[in-house]
Amino acid sequence: MLGFAAKARKIVFGKDQIRAYLRNRRQKKKVLVLASDASESIKKDWLKRCESQKVPFVLLKNTDRISLAKALGKVSFSAVGVTDEELAAEIVRLAEAGGEKNGEDPSL
């Protein structure tokens, strides 16, 4: 799913872009995806911001920040937001359903 969003240029990454994305009131369906090896301070900061803006988040269990970035054609980042509302809603739906086979959903 994230690969589709990246191909369509419907992702945001980097502190400033993600902060603006989370504050954007025009977009109703959002999701923030965090890599498994994001530092505790980064996780705490993004989760606090997601909660305050009522944005769902997905903490990946088996995907580190380099693998996450590489899957999206980038070098390295800990968090990514999906700006396409349909894809964001589908990612949230898959995460809530537990993904596929023990949470190892290759489509995320």
On whether residue 79 sits in a domain, the answer given is yes
Q: Which residues pair with 59 in a beta bridge?
A: 34
> Which residue matches tokens 């968090």?
79
- Please name the amino acid found at residue 100: E
pLDDT, tens digit (0-9, with 9 covering 90-100), for 74-101? 888 899 999 999 999 999 999 988 864 4
The pLDDT value recorded for residue 97 is: 86
74 found inside a domain: yes
Quick one: pLDDT band at residue 102, thresholds 50, 70, 90? very low
Half-sphere exposure of 69 (CA within 13 A, CB side): 13
3-class secondary structure, 49: helix
Q: Where are the alpha helices (DSSP H) in the chain?
A: 2-7, 15-23, 40-53, 65-71, 85-96
Which are the contacts of 34, defined by CB distance < 8 A and separation ≥ 6?
42, 43, 46, 47, 57, 58, 59, 60, 78, 79
Q: Is 11 within 8 Å of 5 (Cβ atoms)?
A: yes
- The domain that holds 46 is classified in CATH as 3.30.1330.30
* Within a domain: 67: yes
Q: Across residues 23-41, what is the average pLDDT? A: 93
- What total number of domains does the chain contain? 1
pTM (2 decimals)? 0.84
- In this structure, of 5-9, 84-88, 102-106, the range with the lowest mean pLDDT score is 102-106
Residue 69 pLDDT exceeds 70: yes
The domain in which residue 85 lies consists of: 2-96
